[in-house]
A and B are shown apart, each in its own frame.
Chain A
Amino acid sequence: MIQNEKKHLILYTGDVTKNLKSGIWNASRIKSNLELVKALENVKLTKFTGDGDENLKKNIKVLVPVNEKPQKLDGKQEEYEIIVKLFFLDGENIDIKKREETLSQVFYNLHMLFGIDFVSTLVVSFPHITFLKESGNSSSNEIYDSIDEIPPQEIQSWVDTWKLLEEKVGEGKIGTLGVSEFGVNELQRLISSVNVVPESTQINIGQNCKLPNDLLNFADRHHLKLFFHSDPSALLSESEITSVIHKACPEIPNPARVDWVIRYTILTRHTAVIHQKGYIVQSTYTE
């Protein structure tokens, strides 16, 4: 009997923009994961059997919304701007091999669900760092106070992960790369060790509009675009994902944790209309 076998579950929220009454959760710049949580709570999931790479499907169950089968993008991909934000939530044991697998999974799922093979911008969110320290937040003890506290191997993991992303850029699967919550110090460390420099960083400074001068100057010098975001650093907690999974698959009683999440936003380039927006979550549980 095999014990403690790790199983993976991929959950797809469906398009969160077409069910708004229950989902206008992103209309403020205060950090919140409600859009994702509510989407997962409200969606009725069913097992998805797509064709594809058997290797990548091994030990992985994919759940998709009952009433909304994933649709391949109509028209040509170049008519859309596809923005993907990838949240690595593997803070406890960062393993570059796993990240490589994650990237494969991300592109495999984008392809399988929507027929997407090219991401215009991929923004990567690494665990443990925030631009402004969250005060009074339960997760704040998992966040480094300053760049000096970050262990060198973790900074190395950014660079190693970045190399993987650079490969994707080289293969023509990603247009430009961005980072999340990186301030001047983090950006300097990253930029000095990589070939493809990030095109942008996105930060959260609450409802404030005053960007810090050092970041503005740095961005100016390095031709970086500055964006806001309102995603908490730990996007989805163990208890949140466990309860979602428990509801969708009562036969899985064990606690689960999230490995990674992507949020994809597909904009119709020439009309500024949101074509689709949703999340894909991969979690791990032990059987």
Chain B
Amino acid sequence: MGLLVLGTPLDWPESKKYCDYVRENGIMQFLHMYDTYISKKQDVLLWGDEIECIVVSMDDKSKKARVSLRQEDILNALGKYEETFRHVDFGPVYAALRNETCPKKIDAILSEVAKNPADYVERIGGNSNKDTIEITSSTKPHAQNAVPTFHPEYGRYMLESTPGAPYGSTLKDFTFVEYNMRLRRKIIENHLLPNELPLTITNFFRLGTPGFTDPEVEANGAISRSFFLPDDVINTHVRFPTLTANIRQRRGRKVAMNVPIFFDKNTIKPFHDPTVPWDRNLFPEDANARDGAALDNHIYMDSMGFGMGCCCLQITFQAKSCDEARLLYDQLTPITPLMLALSAGTPAFRGYLADQDCRWNVIAGAVDDRTEEEMKTVPKSRYDSVDLYISNDKRNLPEYNDVPVVINQDCYDKLIKDCIDERLAKHMAHIFSRDPLVIFSDSILQDNSVSNAHFENLNSTNWQSMRFKPPPPGSDIGWRVEFRSMEIQITDFENAAYSIFVVMLSRAILSFNLNLYMPISLVDENMKAAHARDAIHRKKFWFRCNPFPDASTDDESGQFRQLTIDELFNGEHRENGFPGLITIVRSYLYSCNPDAKTICLIERYIRLISQRANGQCLTAASWIRNFITTHPSYKQDSVVNDEINYDLIRRIAKIVDGDYDDTLLGKCS
């Protein structure tokens, strides 16, 4: 979520008057950043992850799990923790962790550090040498030096955490990632009530069912006007309710997501959802469902929270230049659906089993602000897969941008007039074809040479599968891209594995000069395929026949074909077949040859990705689905009842606590 500013947000009718103003000035701000930073080169690789979690409140007596709405209290406490330990160099902590091999001791160190890092560092004598502190503090801190940071998210039961500074550019830095994530989880745990758990699950399985919040609140709020989600689940910072209301108002109706229900033996067919209050007449929008917004045989969801209340795993990395960022944006775009399929973790919505495994299209629907008229002319929601390749690389052929794209012509003209090349201008004009959703009355007037808020108002509310981020003015941050498609994983081990895999793949793409371009329409098709239930086994994905540089002399050049996730990751087991992304990553890794400890650690992560891809272990979605369908109280009717939900969450919490489950995490070696 973007930076939270104070002030008064405008409601939609008021906002509308300023849309063009914000766009115009946003473009000016972009041009200013572009001109200032286009020659910025030789930046180092820095990267970071964002992990979102859901705080669940467990009631052991009634065997009920609900989402806890204590976000503000928890974040206040976490903020104090950050402040208290801001000056601690965590370096010695990670050094100690790196030298420790016993899992119990590692856990003990993490627990101690989570409670009081200053005491721990002092106890092991890490900060005894004053000289070293001064040296480290004069250089820019990395993730392993800084206290982690915690941020609000849309859902009032959600928290986001990031490393306090980016990870560095060496492969050795990968060894800090999982510890960093575990430390964040432990710090959060320390600020929860004894019956609360921070779970990294993509969504809460019973979100929007009666009494799913702690405290229980009825769903009758005027902001989202949802049948299912009370306004109390929305983060109370004014930005979020305003965003919710403005999307609904701009759209002219409530958002409507319909996810196909998974038909089991006893699911009533056709399925006309009895839990939808069809006859409610509290708000004018209550008629939406009756008028066709809610489809039979589907799980109907009518509020932004069903989407923005999901947890994702996002990776941002800094490129060495604007050109490299544009190249990475393009080359990673075809990877986004593959990682979505491999990270799938969302088999249930609103207490029902779905016939899909991913969150993506639900979030797309949850922030879809298009009017009925625009639905005919604007092909996608502002949250969706990438529409345009943007690199000036000669391998980026015009025919790859083959889906219709709406642009704001004035913005485009202005960009072209100011010497932005056609591809980037088109991308920005596409981003700027949307309306700014939340405008704060007290920050309309901005100095375009020092602020990027108008630009960010649009850039950060276009939630595409990749995001291109120019350097913010007045900072030493470089050109960045964000990889946004992945679902959050249950354990920190998995989240570290997925993050590191994507970063290594990006390095391999650059090292081996790979060409992954394929028409955007095929990437879109892959994105759809990735949602499918058990996509790993049941779907094939378009990919370039030969992504290697020697393809220019090859008749496979420019051809595309469909492969399974197993073939894409583990390779085709035939001569001259595609060797697989894992082989490519390994080849990169072994060429760089980091020290033995680092290699062995990274091998664990690669092994997980490999086993997920070939089905030796399950995606989170399949694992959750299995748990539900084999639960004694499951009645083959697609319903995830309170008891199943409670037991499932208990089981997940156990796995997080170290109860190794090889059906989910694969064989250790």
What is the CA–CA distance of A250 and B352 in the complex, to the nearest angstrom? Answer: 72
A97 on the interface (CB 8 Å rule)?
Answer: no
Counting chain A CB atoms within 10 Å of each CB, which of B45, B510, B512 scores highest?
Answer: B512
Flag the segment in A12-20, A166-174, A234-242 that touches B. Answer: A12-20
Residue of B nearest to A268 (CB): B320
Q: Is the CB of A267 within 8 A of B592?
A: yes
Chain B residues within 8 Å of A225, by CB? 595
Q: Is the CB of A20 within 8 A of B548?
A: yes
A20 and B549 in contact, given A226-B597, A271-B169, A272-B171 (Cβ under 8 angstroms): yes
Contacts between the two chains (Cβ within 8 Å), count: 95
A20 and B584 in contact, given A226-B596, A228-B599 (Cβ under 8 angstroms): yes
Residue of A nearest to B171 (CB): A272
Flag the segment in A22-30, A56-64, A152-160, A182-190 that touches B. Answer: A22-30
Q: Is the CB of A28 within 8 A of B586?
A: yes
Contact with A along B569-597 (1 / 0, CB 8 A): 00000001001000110111011110111
What is the CA–CA distance of A225 and B596 in the complex, to the nearest angstrom? Answer: 8
| Chain B residue total in the interface (Cβ 8 A) | 37
Q: Is the CB of A265 within 8 A of B591?
A: yes
Chain B residues within 8 Å of A17, by CB? 511-513, 591
Q: Is the CB of A274 within 8 A of B550?
A: no
Q: Is the CB of A20 within 8 A of B593?
A: no
A26 and B590 in contact, given A18-B549, A21-B550, A272-B170 (Cβ under 8 angstroms): yes
Q: Is the CB of B599 within 8 A of A18?
A: no
A230 on the interface (CB 8 Å rule)?
Answer: yes
Q: Is the CB of A272 within 8 A of B592?
A: yes
What is the CA–CA distance of A21 and B584 in the complex, to the nearest angstrom? Answer: 10
Q: Is the CB of B548 within 8 A of A21?
A: yes
What is the CA–CA distance of A17 and B591 in the complex, to the nearest angstrom? Answer: 9
Q: Is the CB of B550 within 8 A of A271?
A: no
Contact with A along B592-609 (1 / 0, CB 8 A): 110111011001000000
B42 on the interface (CB 8 Å rule)?
Answer: yes
Q: Is the CB of A27 within 8 A of B550?
A: no
Residue from B42, B550, B587, B603 within 8 A of A22 (CB atoms): B550
Chain A residues within 8 Å of B29, by CB? none
A274 and B592 in contact, given A18-B513, A21-B548, A27-B579 (Cβ under 8 angstroms): yes
A227 on the interface (CB 8 Å rule)?
Answer: yes
What is the CA–CA distance of A79 and B587 in the complex, to the nearest angstrom? Answer: 22
A211 on the interface (CB 8 Å rule)?
Answer: yes
Chain A residues within 8 Å of B244, by CB? none
Q: Is the CB of A273 within 8 A of B583?
A: no
Residues in B215-240 with C-beta less than 8 Å from chain A: none
A209 on the interface (CB 8 Å rule)?
Answer: yes
A273 and B507 in contact, given A226-B597, A230-B590 (Cβ under 8 angstroms): yes
What is the CA–CA distance of A28 and B596 in the complex, to the nearest angstrom? Answer: 14
B546 on the interface (CB 8 Å rule)?
Answer: yes
Residue of B nearest to A85 (CB): B593
Q: Is the CB of A271 within 8 A of B592?
A: no
Chain A residues within 8 Å of B276, by CB? none
What is the CA–CA distance of A227 and B597 in the complex, to the nearest angstrom? Answer: 8
A277 on the interface (CB 8 Å rule)?
Answer: yes
Q: Is the CB of A211 within 8 A of B596?
A: yes
Chain B residues within 8 Å of A24, by CB? 579, 583-584, 587
Least CB distance from B353 to A in Å reads: 39
A163 on the interface (CB 8 Å rule)?
Answer: no
B44 on the interface (CB 8 Å rule)?
Answer: yes
Least CB distance from B570 to A in Å reads: 11
A19 and B550 in contact, given A79-B42, A209-B603, A270-B45 (Cβ under 8 angstroms): yes
Residues in B139-190 with C-beta less than 8 Å from chain A: 169-171
What is the CA–CA distance of A273 and B593 in the complex, to the nearest angstrom? Answer: 12
B95 on the interface (CB 8 Å rule)?
Answer: no
Residue from A18, A230, A270 within 8 A of B42 (CB atoms): A270
Residue of A nearest to B584 (CB): A24
Least CB distance from A104 to B in Å reads: 26
Residues in A245-276 with C-beta less than 8 Å from chain B: 265, 267, 269-274
Residue of A nearest to B45 (CB): A271
Chain A residues within 8 Å of B44, by CB? 270-271
Least CB distance from A89 to B in Å reads: 21
Chain A residues within 8 Å of B511, by CB? 17, 273-274
Chain B residues within 8 Å of A44, by CB? none
A99 on the interface (CB 8 Å rule)?
Answer: no
Chain B residues within 8 Å of A31, by CB? none
Q: Is the CB of B549 within 8 A of A228?
A: no
Q: Is the CB of A20 within 8 A of B587?
A: yes
A229 on the interface (CB 8 Å rule)?
Answer: yes
Counting chain B CB atoms within 10 Å of each CB, which of A21, A28, A271 scores highest?
Answer: A271
What is the CA–CA distance of A273 and B576 in the complex, to the nearest angstrom? Answer: 26
Contact with A along B514-551 (1 / 0, CB 8 A): 10000000000000000000000000000000101111
Residue from A27, A83, A226 within 8 A of B587 (CB atoms): A27
Chain A residues within 8 Å of B599, by CB? 209, 228
Chain B residues within 8 Å of A79, by CB? 42
Residue from B45, B590, B600 within 8 A of A27 (CB atoms): B590
Counting chain B CB atoms within 10 Å of each CB, which of A18, A225, A265, A273 scores highest?
Answer: A273
Chain A residues within 8 Å of B514, by CB? 20
Chain B residues within 8 Å of A272, by CB? 45, 169-171, 507, 592
Least CB distance from B209 to A in Å reads: 46
Chain B residues within 8 Å of A22, by CB? 550
What is the CA–CA distance of A200 and B576 in the complex, to the nearest angstrom? Answer: 37
Chain A residues within 8 Å of B603, by CB? 209
What is the CA–CA distance of A20 and B320 in the complex, to the nearest angstrom? Answer: 24
Contact with B along A135-178 (1 / 0, CB 8 A): 00000000000000000000000000000000000000000000
Residue from A21, A29, A202, A228 within 8 A of B551 (CB atoms): A21
Chain A residues within 8 Å of B170, by CB? 272
What is the CA–CA distance of A202 and B599 in the complex, to the nearest angstrom? Answer: 13
Residue of B nearest to A75 (CB): B42
Q: Is the CB of A277 within 8 A of B591?
A: yes
Chain A residues within 8 Å of B588, by CB? 274
Chain B residues within 8 Å of A229, by CB? 593
Chain A residues within 8 Å of B320, by CB? 270-271
What is the CA–CA distance of A9 and B402 in the complex, to the nearest angstrom? Answer: 52
What is the CA–CA distance of A179 and B513 in the complex, to the nearest angstrom? Answer: 31
Residue of A nearest to B600 (CB): A209
Contact with B along A13-56 (1 / 0, CB 8 A): 00001111110101111000000000000000000000000000
Q: Is the CB of B549 within 8 A of A27?
A: no
What is the CA–CA distance of A269 and B45 in the complex, to the nearest angstrom? Answer: 9
What is the CA–CA distance of A202 and B592 in the complex, to the nearest angstrom? Answer: 13
Q: Is the CB of A20 within 8 A of B512?
A: yes
Q: Is the CB of B42 within 8 A of A27?
A: no
What is the CA–CA distance of A18 and B548 in the complex, to the nearest angstrom? Answer: 8
Q: Is the CB of B592 within 8 A of A19?
A: no
A226 and B583 in contact, given A19-B549, A29-B590, A270-B42 (Cβ under 8 angstroms): no
What is the CA–CA distance of A230 and B510 in the complex, to the nearest angstrom? Answer: 24
Q: Is the CB of B548 within 8 A of A19?
A: yes
Q: Is the CB of A18 within 8 A of B512?
A: yes
Q: Is the CB of B595 within 8 A of A27?
A: no
Chain A residues within 8 Å of B548, by CB? 19-21
Contact with B along A203-217 (1 / 0, CB 8 A): 000000101000000
Q: Is the CB of B595 within 8 A of A227?
A: yes
A228 and B591 in contact, given A21-B548, A271-B44 (Cβ under 8 angstroms): no
Least CB distance from A73 to B in Å reads: 14
Query: Assuming A267-B592, A270-B44, A272-B45, what are 14 further A-B pairs, CB within 8 angstroms?
Result: A17-B591, A20-B549, A28-B586, A83-B593, A209-B599, A209-B600, A225-B595, A228-B593, A228-B599, A270-B320, A271-B507, A273-B45, A273-B507, A273-B511
17 A/B residue pairs, CB under 8 Å, sorted by A: A18-B549, A19-B549, A20-B549, A20-B550, A21-B548, A24-B587, A26-B587, A26-B590, A209-B596, A209-B600, A265-B591, A270-B44, A271-B45, A271-B507, A272-B170, A273-B45, A273-B511
Q: Would you list the 9 A-B pairs with minimal beta carbon distance, nearest first?
A: A270-B44, A274-B511, A209-B600, A21-B548, A27-B586, A27-B583, A271-B45, A226-B596, A27-B587
